[in-house]
Structures are given as C-alpha cells and as structure tokens.
Amino acid sequence: MKTKHFLKSALCLTFLMFFTNGYSQKASKIDLPATYDFDYSYKLKMTHKKGDFVLTYYLKEDAQYFGFDTAEMTKGSDTKMFMVMDSNLSVTAMFMEMMGKKVVQKTKIKPSDFASDANNADYTFTKIDSKTIMGYDCEGFVSENDEHKITFYITDDVPVSFNQVFGANAKKMPKGFNPAWMKKYAENGLMMQMIFVDKKKSKNSMTMDCIGLDKTDFSIDASAYGSMMSAFGN
C-alpha cells in the first residue's frame, strides 16, 4: 500500500517498514527509559480475503511513543515480542523473550520515516457523511487515485492519538485536502474504520475496524531487558 494521508493512524501496518531496516549498531547506544507506560489498548480487526486477525496497539496520553503487541503474528512461536516506537528518541525497540532471557533490539528510525509522501499528490481527498462507530461520532473521508480508494472514519472523541508520535505535516497533501481537518485531529484522533480497495488487484483489498479502545495499566520494564548478545551468553 503506497498511500500516506495526513492521519498516519490510518496506516495501521506502518510498523512493518521498521522491521525491514535491520539492526543498527548506532541504535544500540541509545538509552531507553526505565519503563514504557500505557493508558489505552487499541484493537483493530483486519478483514482480508486470506483471513482475519487482530492488531493490538498500546497508547499513552501525550506520549511520543506507542506499543504494538506481536502475539497475533507470532502464534506457534516460543518467542514473545513487543515493539515500542519512540519518536522522541528516534528509535524502535523490540522487546523479546527468547531462550529464557529478556533481550531488546533497538533500530534507529530515519528522519524520512516521518516525512510526508510525495505520492499524496496523486490522490484526491473528499469529506463524506459522518457516522457513529462503537458509540463514537466519526467523520468520514475518501482518499482516491487511479489505483486505490481508501474510505476511513476518524473520531476526535478520544484522549489518545498516533499524531503525537508521527506528527502532522501539511506538505504535499492530496487535492481537496483542508488543513483545518489536520488541526482538528492534531491532538486527539483515531481511525475507527478503514476500507481499502485496490482497483487493479482486488485480492489486496481489506477492511479494518476498531473493535476495542479500553483503559489499561500495561507497562514494559525496559530495564529488565539486556542486549541481543546477552541471549547468546556474551
């Protein structure tokens, strides 16, 4: 999927691009906070032709980081993993329990990972009728070009957002985009539904629905995790 519109929360698989960056020696020198605390769990159900699965994110009010539970993607594996993306430190931290040890792998985030995508210029951006999802009043928008059509619904009636992590950038926005929408969702805003249609390859089409936004007191004790080398006895 190439689309990147002004609300990065609509790109619910953003974390995947960080897994492809590889291990960075420079990132290993970054000191993480002793703990990462979270206020809310945010669950998205992805419905795809090949099957359904649930993505679980963890958010904290006003924090410049978010967490992602990989349990759904590591079923059948003996390794437990939890990812934190920290934009303040420009690092992603993968906390793992493997071979009876707790280790963390840190990967440096490139500044370009937060940049606006020039491909946005190919898209038109239209506001559509609002609707209520899970009791939240949501505004609807459509982003579309010759290849893709993305319909998504956003609410600002929530105390958390991904925007504290990704920021908001009005540069190179699609035709029809109103900067006032960005201002409205700058502090609080979550996607409650997204319908992605691939006009040329229907097998890629999918739907994402928020199925839960709940208070939590979950935290990661980063101080309890050693380096990757410690897992091999070094």
pLDDT tens track for 151-195: 999 998 988 888 766 655 545 555 665 666 666 776 778 899 999
| Full-model pTM | 0.79
Average pLDDT over residues 129-152: 93
What pLDDT was estimated at residue 188?
78
* Residues in the chain, total: 234
- Predicted local distance difference test score (pLDDT) of residue 77: 67
Domains along the sequence of the chain with CATH: 1-22+35-218 (2.50.20)
CB 8 within 8 A of CB 17: no
What is the rounded CA–CA span in Å between residue 158 and residue 206?
Answer: 25
| End-to-end CA, the chain | 40
Whether 81 contacts 95, CB under 8 Å: yes
Higher pLDDT, 80 or 66: 66
Task: Encode pLDDT of 31-47 as tens digits.
Answer: 999 999 999 999 999 99
Residues 102-127: pLDDT tens digits? 999 998 877 555 554 545 558 888 89
Instruction: Report CA Rg, the chain.
Output: 18
- Cα dihedral angle (187, 155, 198, 22), rounded to 10 degrees? 40
Contact 171, 4 (CB under 8 A): no
pLDDT of residue 214: 95
Asked if pLDDT for residue 133 goes beyond 60, the answer is yes
Burial class (CB in 10 A: 0-12, 13-18, 19+), 84: buried
- Compute the average pLDDT of residues 58-63: 92
Separation between Cα atoms, residue 117 and residue 107, nearest integer Å: 22
Neighbouring residues of 185: CB distance < 8 A, sequence distance ≥ 6: 7, 154, 156, 161, 163, 168
Predicted local confidence at residue 80, as pLDDT: 84
User: Which pLDDT belongs to residue 29?
Assistant: 77
**Higher pLDDT among residues 183 and 90, named by residue:** 90
Identify which has the larger pLDDT, 5 or 231. Answer: 231
pLDDT at 135: 93
Among 2-16, 85-99, 127-141, the range of highest mean pLDDT = 127-141
pLDDT above 90: percentage of residues in the chain: 39
pLDDT at 182: 64
Q: Residue 24, Cβ neighbours under 10 Å: how many?
A: 17
Question: 167 vs 24, which has greater pLDDT?
Answer: 167
Q: Is the pLDDT of residue 210 over 50?
A: yes
